[in-house]
Structure 1
Amino acid sequence: MSFLKAEWRKLVMINYEVNPKILEKYLPVGTELDFFQNKCYASVVGFMFKNTKLLGVKIPFHINFEEVNLRFYVKRKTKEGYKRGVVFIKEIVPKSAITFVANTFYNENYETLPMIHSWEDKEGSLKVTYQWKKNKKWNYIKVEAENSLNKIEENSVIEFISEHYWGYAKEDDKSTTEYEVKHSKWEYYKINTYTVSIDFESNYGSDFSFLNDEKPTSVMLLEGSEISVENKKSIK
Structure 2
Amino acid sequence: MAKPFLTAQWRNLLMINFAITPALLQKYVPHRTELDTWNDTNYISLVGFLFRDTKVKGIGFPMYRTFEEVNLRFYVRYKEGSSWKRGVVFIKELVPKYLITFVANTLYKEKYATLPMRHRWHSPDENTLHVAYEWKVGNEWNFLKANAAAAPTAIIPGSEAEFITEHYWGYTQSGPELTSVYEVTHPQWRVHEVFDYDYRCNAEALYGPAFAEALAQKPVSALLAEGSDISVQPKLRL
Contact 1:22 1:207 in 2 (8 A): yes
DSSP 3-state at the match of 1:99: helix
1:205 to 203, 208, 211: 208
Tell me what 1:147 maps to.
150
How far apart in 2 are the matches of 1:201 and 1:50? Answer: 30
How far apart in 1 are the matches of 2:119 and 2:62? Answer: 20
How far apart in 2 are the matches of 1:60 and 1:109? Answer: 24
DSSP 3-state at the match of 1:100: helix
Contact 2:19 2:214 in 1 (8 A): no
Q: Note if 1:21 corresponds to 2:40.
A: no
Q: TM-score, normalised by structure 2?
A: 0.97
Give the paired residue count: 235
Tell me what 1:95 maps to.
97
1:133-212 matched pairs, under 5 angstroms? 133-212=136-215
How far apart in 2 are the matches of 1:95 and 1:231? Answer: 22
Identify unmatched segments of 5+ residues in structure 1. none
2:58 to 49, 56, 74: 56
Displacement after TM superposition at 1:122 (Å): 2.6
Q: Which runs of 4+ in 1 moved over 4 A?
A: none
Contact 2:182 2:233 in 1 (8 A): yes
Contact 2:145 2:197 in 1 (8 A): yes
Contact 1:199 1:212 in 2 (8 A): no
How far apart in 1 are the matches of 2:196 and 2:84? Answer: 35
Percent identity between the two aligned chains: 46
Counterpart amino acid of 2:173? K
Displacement after TM superposition at 1:212 (Å): 4.4
Counterpart amino acid of 1:184? P
Q: TM-score, normalised by structure 1?
A: 0.98
Once the two structures are superposed, residues 84-117 of structure 1 have per-residue CA deviations (whole angstroms, 9 ceiling, x without a partner) of 0000000000011111111111111000100000
